[in-house]
Structure formats: C-alpha cells, structure tokens
A and B are shown apart, each in its own frame.
Chain A
Amino acid sequence: MTWLIQSAVLLTTPPFFLGVIAKTKASFAGRKGPPLLQNYYDLIKLFRKGTVHSPASSFVLRLAPAVIVSTLLTAGLFFPLLGRAPIFFEGDVILFAYLLALGRFAMILAALDVGSGFQGMGASREAAFGAFSELAFFLGLVVLVVISGSASLTGIFQWKWIHPAWRPVFLLLFAAFFFILLAENSRMPVDDPSTHLELTMIHEGMILDYGGIDLGLILYGSAIKLFLLMAFAISLLWPQPLAWHWHSAALLGLKWTGMAVAIGAVESVTARLRLIKVPQLLIANFVVTLFALLVALFGRRV
C-alpha cells in the first residue's frame, strides 16, 4: 500500500512544487506569475515532441536523460516519504547519496559529449561545485548516522527521537541541507534558473543540446531531485510519522509547499553570488556540518 502511494507521489507531485516556487517569486516581484501547473503543461508539451541529436554527439548524450530520471526515482524509493520507505536496509544512506551522484555524473558526461564551449563551462562548474557540496552532504549523513545509530534513511528519520526537542544539531543540519538543496538544484544564490545568459549558466548550460522528450526527462529529473532534497531538509525538522495514515499525505503536501515557499522567498530577496565566491560559501556550509558533527559527538545528549 505505502509502496504504491509513495511511487504515485514521487512520480506525479514534484513538478507542482516548482510551480509553487515560481508563484512565490512572482508575488515578490508584484506579478501574477505562471499557473501552478505550468510545469506539467511544459512537460506534456515536451513529451509529445520528437528529439534531435547533434551529429557530433555519441550514445552518452542519448543515455543520460534515462540514467538521470531512473537514478532519482530509485533514490526516491529509499526515502521515508509516507511512513516507512518502500525499500530500506542498513546502509541505504550510502546508496541514496551515490544514486544522486550517479545522476550528476551522467549529466556532466552528456554535457561534455557535445564538445561545445558553453556546455564544457557548465560541466566544469557543476563538477567543481558538486565536489564541494557533496563534501558537506556526506558529512551531514555521517552526523545523522552518529546520532541515530542507524545507517538507513528510514531509521534516521524517526519521529519519536527527534520530536519534540529541537536539538541544535538539527538546526545546524537543516541550515546545511537547505543550502545544499539550493546548490544542488541550481537555485539562487548559486545559479539563476530564470535567466539564460550563455556565460553565467551552470545547469542551463549543460542541457543546451537537449530538446523534446530528452529535455522533458531532464526537467522532470530536476523536479524530482528538488523534491527529494526538500524531503531531506524538511524531515530533519519535522519528519513524517512512521505509521501510515491518510492525513500524512496532507501533512506532506503542507510541509513541501512550505519549503517551496521558503525557497521562493530566499530566491527573491537575495541576488545571485559571484561565481568565484560559490566555493567559499560551500566550504562555509561544510564547516557548519562539521560543527554539527562536533555537537553530535561531544554535546550533552538530551
């Protein structure tokens, strides 16, 4: 039952939250903004189109969209979205992290495959920033494993031992994962998803050569990635109850929408960082997780 519902939620809801972000940003700018379901319309439009591949590209370019979407969907099955995750075992945390990394790897390879200057720049930026943000991501996982004593996502996000005390370590971790979420999903202040200036793009730069179904898959993949990392961050403060009730679906909608609004607000009130400063910020983020580790190891247990 949970298995079916989780798969359905994972497959259908992610693009909705991109719509929420867009609406939030529009309201900050005093505009109406696109309809909440615009991303679904875009995806349907793209899925009905054909694709064109550059003659300079190889099978890597064609394979990447499928790899990206399938790794993300598989990773989603390990996450306790509604109660227990459909698949869980000790150590699935590592698999989760590496599935995300595999998706990124496929994307970078595909960008390099065409051999265009813009995509090369996008790929090199993605690889450099990815290396920094993964550092913090893995350390954050270590902290979670240390405090929960479990190496499974389902074990980590258990309602009973986090609630009701908001321990400082979780606040630190939430801050770190919120920033990882922004960096990994090419949101402000790291990348600007709304402009298409050739020389400044990261994510948009890498997917320049895609169109039609492939582009649709990649955009769908980005939405799932955002959804999963939002799940990760919000579950640190407010995890889903382990037992399945119908109201946990409503709870999920509420929490994710709140996260999306928060992302939209952050994007609206800050300008994008100078590209050269991004690694500094990512390292600062790593330091925050390091503090979290110290607190987890030496802090007084409540």
Chain B
Amino acid sequence: MKSLFTALPNGGSIPQSRLPLLEIELWRQTILEHCLKDQARIVALFGERGSDQRIRVYCLLGADHQKLLLAGAAELTPANPAYPSLTTHLPEAHLFERELHEEYQIVPEGHPWLKPVRRHGSYPYYRVEGDGIHEVAVGPVHAGIIEPGHFRFQCDGETVLHLEIQLGYQHRGVENLLVRAGRGRRAVLAESIAGDSVIGHGLAFCQALEGLAEICAVTKRAHGLRGIALELERLANHAGDLGALANDVGFLPASAYFGRLRGEFLNLLMELSGNRYGRSFVRPGGVLFDLPPGMTGDFQNRLKQALHEINELSGLLFETASVLARLESTGILPGGLAKELGLVGMAARASHLARDVRHDHPFGIYRWNPIHPVTLSTGDVFARAKIRSLECKQSLKYVLALLEALPAGKILEPCENLRPSSFSASLVEGWRGEIAHIVLTDATGGIARYKIVDPSFHNWPGLAMAMRGGQISDFPLCNKSFNLSYAGHDL
C-alpha cells in the first residue's frame, strides 16, 4: 500500500515542505488504516500552534515490521478545532488526545474521557459505588523516597476494581524550556527530563539535532561509546529494579546483592563519563570523553565478573519458591491488551510484543552491531522481572563484544547550524523503552517546537489495567515491576 504519510529514517530529518499536510479526515483515516491493519503504532501525536493561530497536528507512526517511521500532519482552525476521535478505534491514542485537548483545546469528538493529563483541576475521579466498596487514595506524598503521583483505588475488600492514576505534579514545561534555552543549555536540560534515563534522553536529543544539522558526521567510535553508555544505564537500572523487586517481596539477600551490582554499573559509567548517571557525556556531534586503551581491559574484566554475578544472582532470585510464588501471575497484562494500549519497551516485551527500537529502527552503533529483542509471553510481574535479568545478560555480552573491537577515530565532530523549516524524529531505546524526541525548526533555523515522548507516557495505562482484579496489597510490587517515570510523563 502506498502511504499518504512520508517515510523518514530514525535520526533523520526532512524539510517541512515534504511533510504531507492532509485534510483532517484523511489524516485520521490514514492513521487508522496504518494502525488497525497491524502495520504501525503511534509513536507521537502532538500539536503546534502557528503564528496565525492555526493549530497543526502531527502524527509519527512506527511501522516496526517495515522498519519505517511515517509522519504526516493536518491543520485545524481555531474556530472549530474538532475532529472525530481516534481513541474510539485506537485506545493507544487516548492519552495523546487528552494531551491535545489540554494544550490546544482541540476536541476529539467521541473521546470517552477528556480528563486533563497534567494540569488537573476539579475533574472528578471515577467512582464505584455499592455495598462493601471502598476507596483508597495514595499519594501524591508517599511513605518512600519516590516521585509524586496520586493513585485512587476503588476496592471491593482487598480486590482492586479500578485504579486511576493522576500525574502531573512534576510538570516543569521541559518542551518549552528546550525551545527557549540557549544552545549550550539544551543538552543539560534534555539530560534532566528523567533522572534515571540521562543517557537515553541525552542521546535522543543529540540524534535529533544531528539529524537537523547541516554538517555533522558522528564517528563510529563515538557511536560505540554512546552504545556502551546506554547499555550501562540499562544494566544499572535493571539491576537496581531487580533488587527493589526482591526488597518488595521481602527477600533480603537478593535485594542487597543486586543493589551492590547496581553500584558497580554506576561506577563503570562514572569512570567512562565522570558522573554516576552519565551526565555531560553525550553531546551533539559525539561524546565528550574517550575510553583510553588502558581502561578497556579493566572494563572487560569487571563486566565479565558482573556477568558471572548476574548469572548466580538470577539463580538465587528465580529459583526460590517463595519469591516465584509472589511474582508469578501477579499483575498480568495480556499481550493483546498491551498492544491495544500501545505499550513499549521492556514491559511490552514481557507481554510478548517484540518492540525494541534498537532492532526495529536501529540507530548509532546498533546499525553495525545488531541486537535482537528478548521476549517473554506471560506478561506478569515474573516476566517483567525475568526479562530484566535476561536483558542484563544480553547487554553485558553486547558491551563485551563492543569493547573487543571498539573502532578507532575521533570522538567529537562539529555539529552546527540547524536546517531551517525541517522536521526531525529521533528514537532511542532507553532502559524503560522507546524515547522519542521530535524537533521542528523555524525559517531561521531556531527550534519552533520540541516534542518529547517518554516510554512512561505509553506505559502508565498498562499499570492501571494490570492492577484490575488484582490484590491491592500487590500494588507496590506491580508498580515496581513497571517502574515508570513520573518526571518523564509529566515533562
């Protein structure tokens, strides 16, 4: 089928004149056709207010099987900013359409629930009524040191009938800050979108700018080092989460040892970049710090040791009957539902959806050294835990192979002058899943609109659905198994 949308490569850019501007109904039909025929999913859906107050809506689709990104736009007049909702056919669009409604007062007609996403005022919570039904409200201030979010449970005894998640307490206006910020500050801002995905968001930002730059050729060595940093970030977070899951079920030995292992990965990242979380490492044009030959051997030894320890620790965690009893069949998210909700990343892969940007839309070093997604099919807490340990092993082997043959060359090339009136899309597989940064430039080469989609934005509804019919006492465990970012969602 010939698509009405334009294809563009991951990390590439096209002039806005080549971006098809369709009639709103045709735009909607095209999205539905692509998504319902199982060829694509929504990566991002967002608006931009032009100088003449006309609102342009953009849609970026990921056709994973064809390894294509498809983009198309439509225009709405401020007098009548309405169109028939996509959500009624395509549940994965529901948060995007709520966002459009909140930010641009666009009305997706027929949308079942136009509640604001971040700036909630007096919008009522969903309520179940009847005998023995009680409501439990948790947060936004929690007993632990976690981010703020409000969870409203409708329970029948210990069983959860419905969970409503209210976020937005961390809304900082990052997208607008990135538009207004000076050149030097942008990378720092991008690294602060979600504190646990510094490399992921930093890399997505750099790729987007490199795609827009008039002259920019990132060397293969820089790509390799970025890949190492991204995998180390994945390893640190996965190991930390496995420890936290063990802690939540009260299994102390695994909790302590995984915690130590997380420290090991963070230390490696610090030796590579000078910061435990990898700040100020990835910059447009390459990376700021090299890995000297003397350090490579040390890295390899420590990673091999870590691989050995991960194997042993996974055995300890996944072979203890009382741990398995807690993890298995808790918080099940079936594959079909995960697909409908448009889940991405590790949580999607635990529900048998082979979605991995590193494989589907390869970027950087993954173009030369391919990686294959690991999937599990049960979609429960066990699968989300197990997939972390499997991905840890995979990442360790990947980094070890990469260190074996790290290409030579410079690490930083100049990256200047953004192309005017262009559209650039950049996708990165962060540890949590697909991070998408989309940049639109104006006629003078300045940034006109910066759109960020954190994997958490796709995945929060997955958590709410996984809790349905479950035990309220299993919520902390289920929540930890997704470990979604509040800041990444709130932006």
Contacts and interface: CB of A to CB of B under 8 A. Distances in A.
Interface of A: 25, 28-31, 117-118, 120-121, 188-189, 192, 194-200, 267-277
B256 A121 contact: no
A195 B252 contact: no
Closest 10 CB pairs of A and B: A29-B256, A272-B250, A271-B249, A275-B473, A271-B322, A271-B251, A197-B476, A192-B250, A271-B323, A200-B473
12 contacts: A28-B253, A30-B253, A30-B256, A117-B137, A121-B136, A195-B247, A196-B143, A271-B246, A271-B323, A272-B249, A273-B322, A273-B326
Most buried by B among A30, A118, A200: A200
Contact of A271 (B158, B326, B472, B476): B326
Contacts of A198: 138, 142-143
B62 to A, nearest CB: 35
B147 to A, nearest CB: 15
Contacts of B175: none
A161 B473 CA distance: 46
B251 A270 contact: yes
Contacts of B299: none
Given A30-B256, A189-B322, 20 more contacts: A29-B252, A30-B260, A31-B256, A121-B472, A188-B250, A195-B247, A197-B143, A199-B472, A199-B473, A199-B475, A199-B476, A268-B252, A271-B246, A273-B322, A273-B325, A274-B471, A274-B473, A275-B474, A276-B158, A277-B325
Contacts of B143: 196-198
Contacts of B134: 117, 120
Given A28-B253, A31-B256, A275 B158 contact: yes
Contact of B325 (A25, A29, A117, A274): A274
B252 A28 contact: yes
Interface string B338-376: 000000000000000000000000000000000000000
A8 B135 CA distance: 47
B476 A189 contact: no
B173 interface: no
B12 to A, nearest CB: 45
B330 interface: yes
Given A271-B320, A271-B325, A276-B158, A195 B250 contact: yes
B169 interface: no
Contacts of B473: 199-200, 274-275
B426 interface: no
B130 interface: no
Given A198-B142, A275-B158, A276-B158, A25 B248 contact: no
B144 interface: yes
Interface in B244-298: 246-253, 255-257, 260
A interface majority secondary structure: loop
Interface string B228-251: 000000000000000000111111
Contacts of B322: 189, 270-273
Contacts of B252: 25, 28-29, 267-268
Contacts of B158: 275-276
Contacts of A29: 252-253, 255-256
Contacts of B323: 271
A276 B253 CA distance: 24
A199 B136 contact: yes
A189 B257 contact: no
Nearest to A188: B250
Nearest to B260: A30
Given A197-B476, A273-B322, A277-B325, A268 B135 contact: no
B469 to A, nearest CB: 12
Nearest to B252: A29
A269 B260 CA distance: 18
A196 B248 CA distance: 10
Residue with the highest number of chain B CB atoms closer than 10 Å, among A30, A31, A277 = A30
A190 B256 CA distance: 21
Contacts of A195: 247-248, 250
Interface in B100-149: 134-138, 142-144
B148 to A, nearest CB: 14
A31 B260 CA distance: 11
A271 B250 contact: yes
Nearest to A276: B471
B144 A196 contact: yes
A188 B473 CA distance: 15
B476 A200 contact: yes
B144 A189 contact: no
Nearest to B474: A274
A54 to B, nearest CB: 16
Contacts of B248: 195, 197
A194 B250 CA distance: 8
Contacts of B250: 188-189, 192, 194-195, 267, 270-272
Contacts of A189: 250, 322
Contact of B326 (A117, A194, A274): A274
A274 B475 CA distance: 11
A200 B251 CA distance: 15
Contacts of B471: 274-276
A117 B256 contact: no
Contacts of A200: 473-476
A199 B248 CA distance: 12
Residue with the highest number of chain B CB atoms closer than 10 Å, among A196, A199, A200, A273: A199
A98 B127 CA distance: 41
Nearest to B477: A200
A275 B144 CA distance: 21
Contacts of B474: 200, 274-275
Contacts of A197: 143-144, 248, 476
Contacts of B257: 30
Contacts of A31: 256
Interface in B314-328: 320, 322-323, 325-326
Contacts of A267: 250, 252
Contacts of B255: 29
A189 B248 CA distance: 12
Nearest to B257: A30
A277 B321 CA distance: 14
Contacts of A272: 249-250, 322, 326
Contacts of B144: 196-197
A114 to B, nearest CB: 15
Contact of B136 (A117, A273, A274): A117
Nearest to A193: B250
Contacts of A277: 325
Nearest to A196: B143
A26 to B, nearest CB: 9
A25 B255 CA distance: 12
A241 B252 CA distance: 37
A193 to B, nearest CB: 9
B135 A117 contact: yes
